Amino acid sequence: MPAMHDRPMTCLADPGDPALKLHAVRPEGLDALLASLPPAQAAFLRQTGFAAGSGSVALLADADGLAGAVLGLGMETGPYPFGALPAALPAGTTWRLALGDHAPDAALLGYCLGAYRYDVLRAGTDRELPRLVPPEGTEAAREQAAAVWMVRDLINAPANRLGPAELADAAAGLATRFGATLRRVEGDALREAYPAIAAVGAGSARPPAVVAFHWRGSRAHESAPLVSLCGKGVCFDTGGYDLKPSSGMLRMKKDMGGAAIALGLARLIMQADLPVRLAVRIGCVENSVSGSAMRPLDVLRTRRGLTVEVGNTDAEGRLVLCDLLAEASDEQPDLLLDFATLTGAARVALGPDLPALFTRDDALAESLLAAGRAAVDPMWRLPLWDSYTSWLDSPIADLNNVSSKPFAGAIVAALFLERFVAPGTRWAHLDVYAWNDQTRPGRPEGGEAQAMRGLFAALASLYGALKP
C-alpha cells in the first residue's frame, strides 16, 4: 500500500540550498518590516494594500527579478497560515524563513500540510513544488507532517484500492517498521475472538481482519504506562440492509478514518520513542449487502459476552469497536483511546472541524482539550449522560445498538461503547469527521488527521518523562 511508504516531501529543500528570503509578519509588526525593506519593495506593499492578513502572500522583486516574499499571519499562532505558501509561491523556487514572530516548527508543519495533495492516482501530476529550507530544530514537526500525510493518504484512498486486507497490511507494515509484536486475526479465529466484527463483515466478499500490535519504548520498563489505541476501520459503509441513500455513500471510503488516525498517533508515539508500552487494535471490515449480511433485529454475540440486538445495520461502527474495546480494556491499560467516524449526530452538534470527546475523567478531558488548543488541533467535550442509557434497552437482548429516540445520537453511541469497557478503565472516545469539506490553507479537501497532533501533545506531556 503506497500510503505506508512515506511519499518524499519534495516541498522541503536541503539546508544548504541557496534560497530566497521569506518574511512572515503579523499586522502589528508590518511597519517594522516595511522600514527594513528596500524602499521600492516597501512602497509596493503599501500601494497594493498588503495588511498581513492570515494566509495573504505578496511577492517582492528587485532589478534582477524575484527577490523575496511576505506571508501575512494575521492573529493566528498555529501552522495554518503557512499552509497558503505552496500554492502562492512560484513552482521550482526555494525559500528560507527570516526570523520573526512565529514558531519555526509551526511554520514547517503548516508548509508541509499545505503542500499535501492526493495525486498518486493521476497521470502527469509530477508537481514541481516551491521548496522550503527546514528551519533548525524542526525535525519533530517534520515527523508530524509525515504522519498527517500518511493518515490523509489512507483516508483518501478509494475503497476499491483500500479494502480490509489492504488496511490490515498498512497496519501490519507500520508495526513491522517499528519492531512491534504483531498479531493478525482472520477467518474462523476472528469469528471466535471478535464475533461482532465478524458479523459486520459477513456481508462483504472482502473478509474482515483485526490487526493488533504491541510495542515498548526503548526507555520503558516492564511496568511502564500502557497506552491502548483502538480504531474503527470500516473501509466502505453501504449501511447494510438499512441502506444509505446514494448521497450518503459518497464519502464512505473515509469510514476507516478512525483507524487511520489511530495508526498516525501510534506512529508518532513510536517515532518519538515515548517511554510507554503501546497496544494498538484496528478492526478492518466492510459493511455490505448480501445474503450473508446481518439483518435488522438480528441478535449478535460480542467478545464481552453481552448480546446486541441490531436495531440498525448502519450503526456498525460501534459493533466493530465494542469487541476491540473489550479486549483492550481487559489488559488494564493506563489510558485507552478509541477513534471512529461514528455518528452524523456529532457533526450536527459540532460541525466538521470539532471532533467530539467523551470521557468520565475530568482531569483527562482537560489535559486533552488543553493540548488540542495549544496544538491548534481542537476537540470538544460532550457528556456521557447517564439518563440516556436506558434508551439502549432491548426486549430480547442485553442491549440494542441504537436508540429508538431521534435525539443525542453521538451520546447514545458513546454510552453503547462504554458498556464494553472494563470498569475503572481510564477511557476516552473520539467521534471524528476525518475530512475537510473544502480546501483551506494547510487543510486541502479530503481526508484529515483530526485530533491526532493534539492527542500526541497530550500523551507526550503525560508520559514523555521516564517514570520510576
**43 contacts 91 by C-beta, under 8 angstroms:** no
Active-site annotation holds for 206: no
Asked about 161 being catalytic, the answer comes back as no
The catalytic residue among 26, 216, 253, 318 is 318
**In DSSP terms, which residues pair with 335 in a beta bridge?**
227
Check the CA dihedral 46-48-53-56 and report its sign.
Answer: negative
Question: What distance in Å separates the CA atoms of residue 342 and residue 402, rounded to the nearest whole number?
Answer: 12
- Closest Cα partner for 322 from 283, 266, 364? 283
Considering the candidates 142, 161, 177, 244, report the single residue annotated as catalytic.
244
Cell of 52: 498581513
Please report, for residues 175, 259, 261, the alpha-carbon distance to residue 264 in angstroms, rounded to integers and kept in the order given.
12, 9, 5
Contacts of 125 (CB under 8 A, 6+ apart): 117, 119
Do the Cβ atoms of 354 and 380 come closer than 8 Å?
A: yes
> Is there a contact between 270 and 261 (Cβ–Cβ < 8 Å)?
no
Q: Where are the alpha helices (DSSP H) in 136-234?
A: 139-156, 164-177, 187-193, 195-201
Dihedral of the alpha carbons of 434, 437, 442, 448, in degrees to the nearest 10: 10
3-state secondary structure of 461: helix
What cell was used for 196?
Answer: 461482532
Q: Which residues of 414-437 are buried (b: 16+ CB within 10 A; e: fewer)?
A: bbbbbbbbbeebbbbbbbbbbbbe
CA distance 81 to 217: 34
CA distances from residue 363 to 295, 336, 360, 423, 425 in whole angstroms, order as listed:
41, 15, 9, 18, 14
- Cα–Cα distance measured from residue 21 to residue 23, given in angstroms and rounded to the nearest whole number: 6
> Which of 229, 227, 397, 223 has the alpha carbon at shortest distance from 305?
397
- Report, as residue numbers or ranges, the catalytic residues: 244, 318
